[in-house]
A and B are shown apart, each in its own frame.
Chain A
Amino acid sequence: MDIESILGPRVAIRGVCRFTTERAQRGFRLNTFLTSMRQPQQREAFARDPEACMANHGLTAQEQDMVRRRDYPAMLDYGASNVALGKAGPALGVSLLERGAQGKGQTSQEFVAERRAANQGQAWQF
């Protein structure tokens, strides 16, 4: 059975960043910090004093710097789970669309406009 021909063509995905075992190991402390933002008291603590909150979680200087700059590509490459970054989105004040725009080097408006244009005029029901 030729699986590839049944599945159809692959596509090139640029900048692939998988949540590998190495990233999981390096990013564990950062991910624990990010997922803690599910708790209202942690969100309040971060909003009140982000520096103290990060220090209390024992983040390293490098980790604190990436969080401070909301540098999503750097955090992902370091070992942040994309899902953990999502948990912390409201606390960090960055939406999924804003992260998309950052990933592509666009403004949010440009990103949304490009996605809408890409999806327009499709025959959805195959």
Chain B
Amino acid sequence: MAILIGGIGSSHAPSIAHAYDAGHQEQAEWKPLFAAYEPVKAWLARQRVDTMVVFYNDHLNHFHFSAYPTFALGIAPMMPVADEGSGARPFPPVPGAVDLGWHLANCLVRDEFDITVCQDMVLDHGIMSVLPMLTTPPWPIRIIPININVLREPLPSPARCFKLGRAVGHAIRSWTGSDRVAVMATGGLSHQLHGPDFGFTNPAWDNRFMDLIESQPDVLSQATHEDYMFRGGVESVEMMIWLAMRGALDAGSDSLHRIQRHYWAPMLTGYGLLALAADGQGDTPPHKEQT
């Protein structure tokens, strides 16, 4: 049976991709952010994670408003990197996981999530600003992207995102393959990208949000879109995507083991990172093995 190793929440942002491509990994300002991903990358490698389900939002790079799904699942053997307006980044295509992908599609529709299935996908910074910090090309981890509409109203509710994650978690655990699976959510944290408060961030809220994702996700799932917008900024409503990741873990916080947590908000958005090992997948860091 497939094993759900754990979950990751991470901000996605063009600025992270720009810093990565500019080689700022060792620059004093950026180094702590990139360094924060290293223990998570090591954990994924140590746990031999071979498949990752990624809840994210596309930024009009694969989908257009001519046909814009509320929830969409990518089932493709290979997924190229999108040209987002100034040329595609020079990464090889990312492998998909079609067998587990179709299993997810079957389970989700049976569970009344009538999800759009996409048999080809291009991946934008919603995934690609994060992936290179967690694994190395040519990508040993297969990706199953799940796009959530956080752009055009009507948006799915936070509660619905949480339930979608639960259904995905159940589907992963019921898969007969031997996959070692992680779930990830990307998005947020606080940002407001229009009007007189353009550039607003809310570090206190972002940190409270990361507390609650771990300990009280049910509270976050009952919050409204406005609860998010009027704490983290209008565009920060995408933080609800993290609830899908947390829903997939489907466990009390006592049974989760925190691998990493990091936060930084230098300019226009709060960069958050949280990695949680799932129940029974307690991970022993190398330095503890020696004691």
Q: B residues within 8 A CB of A24?
A: 65, 152-153
> Beyond A96-B193, A111-B199, A126-B263, is A6–B219 a contact (Cβ under 8 Å)?
yes
Stretch at the interface among B43-51, B167-175, B224-232, B246-254: B224-232
B42 interface residue (CB < 8 Å to A): no
What's the tally of chain B residues with a CB closer than 8 Å to chain A?
Answer: 54
Stretch at the interface among B19-27, B81-89, B100-108, B278-286: B81-89
What's the least CB distance linking A75 to chain B, in Å? 10
B35 interface residue (CB < 8 Å to A): no
What's the tally of chain A residues with a CB closer than 8 Å to chain B?
Answer: 60
> Beyond A14-B195, A82-B235, is A21–B154 a contact (Cβ under 8 Å)?
yes
- Check A124–B234 contact: CB distance below 8 A: no
- Check A21–B153 contact: CB distance below 8 A: yes
What's the least CB distance linking B10 to chain A, in Å? 16
- SS class of chain B's interface: helix, strand, loop or mixed? loop
A61 interface residue (CB < 8 Å to B): no
B59 interface residue (CB < 8 Å to A): yes
Q: A residues within 8 A CB of B220?
A: 7
Name, among B66, B192, B195, B196, the residue most crowded by chain A CB atoms within 10 Å (CB to CB): B195
Q: A residues within 8 A CB of B265?
A: 119, 122, 124
Give CA–CA (A126, B208) in the complex, Å.
9
Q: B residues within 8 A CB of A124?
A: 203, 263-265
- Check A8–B204 contact: CB distance below 8 A: yes
Q: Within the complex, which residue of A3, A28, A82, A84 is in contact with B193, where a contact is CB–CB below 8 Å?
A: A82
Q: A residues within 8 A CB of B176?
A: none
Q: B residues within 8 A CB of A35?
A: 60, 64-65
For B70-101 the 0/1 string (1 means CB < 8 A from A) is: 00000000000011111100000000000000
B186 interface residue (CB < 8 Å to A): no
B115 interface residue (CB < 8 Å to A): no
Give CA–CA (A1, B61) in the complex, Å.
40
- Check A89–B197 contact: CB distance below 8 A: no
B6 interface residue (CB < 8 Å to A): no
B116 interface residue (CB < 8 Å to A): no
What's the least CB distance linking A29 to chain B, in Å? 10
- Check A115–B267 contact: CB distance below 8 A: yes
B135 interface residue (CB < 8 Å to A): no
B216 interface residue (CB < 8 Å to A): yes
Q: Within the complex, which residue of B60, B66, B212 is in contact with A84, where a contact is CB–CB below 8 Å?
A: B60
What's the least CB distance linking A103 to chain B, in Å? 4
- Check A38–B197 contact: CB distance below 8 A: no
Of residues 74 through 125 on chain A, the ones whose CB sits less than 8 Å from some CB of chain B are 76, 81-84, 86-91, 96-97, 99-100, 103-105, 111-112, 114-116, 118-119, 122, 124-125
What's the least CB distance linking B206 to chain A, in Å? 9
Q: B residues within 8 A CB of A9?
A: 231
18 residue pairs of the A-B complex, CB under 8 angstroms, read A4-B227, A6-B216, A7-B205, A13-B200, A13-B230, A13-B233, A14-B195, A15-B197, A31-B60, A76-B194, A81-B65, A83-B60, A87-B61, A104-B196, A111-B198, A115-B268, A118-B199, A125-B263
Contact surface of A with B, Cβ cutoff 8 Å:
1, 3-4, 6-21, 24, 28, 31-32, 35, 37-40, 43, 72-73, 76, 81-84, 86-91, 96-97, 99-100, 103-105, 111-112, 114-116, 118-119, 122, 124-126
| In the A-B complex, the 8 residue pairs with the closest CB atoms | A15-B195, A103-B198, A126-B207, A90-B86, A100-B198, A10-B230, A14-B196, A90-B85
Contact surface of B with A, Cβ cutoff 8 Å:
14, 59-61, 64-66, 82-87, 151-154, 192-205, 207-208, 212, 216, 219-220, 222-223, 227, 229-231, 233-235, 261-268
